[in-house]
Amino acid sequence: MWTKLVPATALLAAVTLTGTAHASPTSPVGASPASPLGASPAAPAMPTATGTSPGVPEPVGGERLVRHGMVAPDGVKEPPKTKATSYVIADADTGEVLAAKNPHGRYLPASTLKILTAVTLIPLLDRNRTVRPSSVAVNQEGSAVGLTTKPIYTVDDLFKALLMSSGNDAAMALAEANGGVQKTLHDMNAEARHLQANDTVARTPSGLDEPGQSSSAYDLTLIARAGLANPAFRRYVSTKVAKFPAPKNYYEISNHNKLLWRYQGMIGVKNGWTSKALGSFVGAATRDGHTIIVTIMRHEGYFWEEVAGLLDWGFANRGKVTPVGRLVDPLPAAVPVRERQAAPAPAVSASARPSTSLLGAAAATQDDSSRRTGLLVIGGGLLFGLCWLGFGLWRRRSRL
CA atoms within 13 A on the CB side of 115: 35
Q: Name the band, by pLDDT with cuts 50, 70 and 90, for residue 106.
A: very high
Q: Name the band, by pLDDT with cuts 50, 70 and 90, for residue 381.
A: low
At residue 393, does pLDDT exceed 80?
A: no
Share of the chain above pLDDT 90, in %: 67
Closest by CA position to 100, among listed 219, 259, 264, 212 = 219
Q: Any residues with CB less than 8 A from the CB of 305 and at least 6 apart, and which?
A: none
Which secondary-structure segment (H or E) carries 88?
Answer: strand 86-91
Cβ burial of 44 (10 Å; 0-12, 13-18, 19+) is exposed
Strand pairing class (250-254; 241-245): antiparallel
At residue 45, does pLDDT exceed 60?
A: no
Annotated catalytic residue: which of 27, 143, 165, 166?
166
At residue 223, does pLDDT exceed 70?
A: yes
Distance of CA 5 to the CA centre of its chain: 24
Residue 215 bears catalytic tag: no
Strand pairing class (290-299; 86-91): antiparallel
Q: Rounded distance, CA 163 to CA 168, Å?
A: 10
Which of residues 286 and 364 earns the better pLDDT score?
A: 286
Helices within 277-355 (DSSP H only): 304-317, 337-342
pLDDT of residue 55: 53
Lowest mean pLDDT of 21-25, 329-333, 379-383, 390-394, name the range.
21-25
Residues pairing with 153 in the sheet: 131
Residue 114 bears catalytic tag: yes
Helices within 75-230 (DSSP H only): 114-121, 135-138, 155-163, 168-177, 181-194, 217-228
DSSP letter for each residue of 58-70: PPTT-GGGG-SSE
Q: Which fold is adopted by the domain 63-344?
A: Beta-lactamase (3.40.710)
Distance of CA 222 to the CA centre of its chain: 8
Closest by CA position to 237, among listed 285, 272, 188, 270 = 270
pLDDT of residue 253: 98
CA-only gyration radius of the chain, Å: 28
Section 337-341 average pLDDT: 47
Q: Note the pLDDT tens digit of each residue in 247-303.
A: 999 999 999 999 999 999 999 999 999 999 999 999 999 999 999 999 999 999 899
Share of the chain above pLDDT 70, in %: 69
Strand pairing class (96-101; 130-131): unpaired
Closest by CA position to 160, among listed 253, 246, 47, 26 = 253
At residue 40, does pLDDT exceed 50?
A: no
AA identity, residue 318: R
Residues pairing with 311 in the sheet: none
Annotated catalytic residue: which of 4, 101, 114, 160?
114
Section 139-151 average pLDDT: 97
Which of residues 233 and 363 earns the better pLDDT score?
A: 233
At residue 400, does pLDDT exceed 90?
A: no
Annotated catalytic residue: which of 24, 111, 143, 165?
111
Closest by CA position to 105, among listed 223, 194, 188, 218 = 218
Q: What is the mean pLDDT of the chain?
A: 80
Residue 398 bears catalytic tag: no
Section 171-182 average pLDDT: 98
